[in-house]
Amino acid sequence: MTHGVDTDRNAAVGRMTRAGGGLRGLRPTAKVLPEHARSHNRSLVLQQLYRTEGLSRADIARSTGLTRVTISDLVGELIGEGLITELGQREDARPGKPATLLALNVHAFHLIGMDLSDKVAFHAARFDLGGTIIERISAPRGTAVGEDALELVYALVERLLRDETSPILGIGVGSPGVVDGEGRIRTAPNLGWHDLPLRDLLAERFELPVTVANDANAAVLAEHTFGSQDAASDLILIQIGAGVGAGLIVDGAPVSGSRSAAGEIGHVVVGTDGGPRCACGKDGCVEAWVAAGRLAEQLEQAADPAAAEALLAAAGERLGIALAPVVGVLNLSEIVLSGPTTLLEGPFADAVLETIRQRTISDIHAELTLRMTALGQDIVLRGAAVLVLSGQLGVS
């Protein structure tokens, strides 16, 4: 096998596109060829270096179970494509030939992530392969919907593509609404999009691999990848803003649902005692109880800090009531909240967790944790980057 000759990066991208993602998400009816095994193992190497910089070929061989020979071959290929670089020799004083340390070359490619979930503006960024934001831009949305909104998206991508420091690996998009497995926006009322094949439109226009997902799904992917140290493989992320949405990872894989509409918790009725009227017409929806706008409004009218706390705790309790069956049935290990920290941190979050504990078998869920996301406003944006990284390199 000859490597190190492939200097054409576009060709390399082409190969990676085919390689994408390894065996995950494989439908039981799909054949598997030896080359799929190869690309899976290739992703394995990248994954190791994505997590830990400065591993030797032998280190990777040990941790993957593949032989040093095979790893050498894969690493050679990846170095040839520019994805991996040799850092030099390990400094340790120990017997044997010193190891040559390797690292992901995070600037071999860049990638584009977009967040279309903000009502005020579309956000986009150029990332390196490590998931670090290199350049960030926004475009105020105004009242743009339909075709106009689409043009805004195109314009953002074009602006980011203009600065050609590194070839672009792909584009990831986190969009509100229902997004199917083919990256088509089934329906996004706020954007006036219905059955819009966004993935294919972008892919054709920019001749790049594109992945489109629901914003809450993108967010939970970001949380899964960048969030906590020991990434939980069963977690739910609750996004609280104008609406309330959820993204879910079960057994390490994002859940999209039978009609690509998973995560719809905002309009689930909670409790058996009515509740505030919701925009959807029902009484007592989760969204009617805990949407950020309503919470802020109520807080303003609160007589004193104690009353404010009670209000937040009551709202948190409602979310807890809705989540308890989900936590019980899925045996989730982690709940992450995303939204205005001032509203959610403290009494609200405490009440959510406490309510879930009270309403399930607390022993079983003793290890259940609840925390605020550490990714702040960028959560969807970074999730969009994860879409590309995991889709094109099998890394996350």
Partner DNA sequence: GTTAATTTGTTCGTAAGCTTTACTAACAAA
Partner DNA sequence: TTTGTTAGTAAAGCTTACGAACAAATTAAC
Binding site for DNA (CB under 7 A): 1, 31-35, 37-38, 41, 56-59, 65-70, 72-76, 89, 93-100
d(CA 325, CA 78): 46
Smallest separation (angstroms) from a second copy to the CB of 24: 5
- The minimum distance between CB 29 and DNA, in angstroms, equals 13
Nearer to DNA, 69 or 364 (CB): 69
Residue 58 binding result from DNA, a second copy, none, given CB thresholds of 5 to 8 Å by partner type: DNA
By CB under 8 A, name the one of 21, 80, 197, 346 that touches a second copy.
21
Please, are residues 237 and 373 in contact by the beta-carbon 8 Å criterion? Answer: yes
CB of 262 to a second copy, least distance (A): 4
Residue 95: which of DNA, a second copy, none does it interact with, CB under 5 to 8 A by kind? Answer: DNA
Least distance between a second copy and beta carbon 359 (Å): 4
Backbone CA torsion sign across 232, 233, 235, 241:
positive
Q: What's the rounded Cα separation, in Å, for the pair 33 and 22?
A: 11
Rounded Cα distance, 171 and 199, in Å = 9
Residue nearer to DNA on the CB measure, 73 or 264: 73
Near a second copy in 50-69, by CB under 8 A: 51, 63-66
The residue among 46 and 375 lying less far from DNA, judged by its C-beta, is 46
Whether the CB-CB separation of 339 and 379 falls below 8 Å is answered with no
Query: From the CA atom positions of the chain, what is the Rg in Å?
Result: 23
218 scored as a contact of a second copy (CB under 8 A) = no
3-state secondary structure of 69: helix
The span of 111-119, 136-144, 258-266, 336-344 binding a second copy (CB under 8 A) equals: 258-266
Minimum separation from the CB atom of position 390 to DNA (A): 19
List phi, psi (to 5°) of 33: -105, 160
> Contact region for a second copy (CB under 8 A) — 75-83, 121-129, 326-334, 373-381?
326-334
Instruction: Give the interface segment with a second copy, choosing from 92-100, 105-113, 153-161, 359-367 (CB under 8 A).
Output: 359-367
Bridge partner list, 236: 248, 335
Minimum CB separation of residue 8 from DNA in Å reads 11
Nearest one of 380, 29, 58, 15 to 226, comparing CA atoms? 380
Of 107, 159, 194, 282, the one binding a second copy by CB under 8 A:
282
Nearest Cα to Cα of residue 208 among 10, 36, 46: 10
State which of residues 11, 69, 253, 307 lies at the interface with a second copy (CB under 8 A): 253
User: Pairing between strand 185-188 and 334-338?
Assistant: unpaired
Q: Least distance to a second copy from the beta carbon of 383, Å?
A: 18
| DSSP state for residue 378 in the 8-state scheme | G
Q: Quick one: tokens of 141? A: 């949305």
For 74, residues 6+ apart whose C-beta sits below 8 A from its C-beta are 38, 41, 42, 45, 66
Q: How far is the CB of 27 from DNA (least distance, A)?
A: 16
Shortest distance, CB of residue 91 to DNA, whole angstroms?
A: 10
* 326 near a second copy, rule: CB under 8 A: yes
Which of a second copy, DNA, none does 330 bind, CB closer than 5 to 8 A by kind? a second copy
* Residue 94 touches which of a second copy, DNA, none (Cβ within 5-8 Å per kind): DNA
Q: What is the DSSP letter of 269?
A: B
Please identify which residue in the block is written with the tokens 């150029």: 126
**Which residues 6+ apart lie within 8 Å of 242 measured at CB?**
119, 291, 292, 293
Is residue 271 near a second copy by the rule CB under 8 A?
Answer: yes
| Of residues 171 and 327, the one with the C-beta less far from a second copy | 327
140 binds a second copy (CB under 8 A): no
| Tokens at 232, concatenated | 């939980």
Comparison of 160 and 288: residue with beta carbon closer to a second copy? 288
Instruction: Name the binder of 190 from DNA, a second copy, none, CB < 5-8 A by kind.
Output: none
User: Does residue 232 touch a second copy according to CB under 8 A?
Assistant: yes
What is the rounded end-to-end Cα distance, in angstroms, of the chain? 28
Q: How far is the CB of 103 from DNA (least distance, A)?
A: 12
**384 and 173 Cβ atoms separated by less than 8 Å:** yes
173-192 residues in contact with a second copy (CB under 8 A) are: 178
Phi-psi region of 269 (alpha: psi -120 to 50; beta: other; left: phi over 0): beta
Residue 207 DSSP SS3: coil
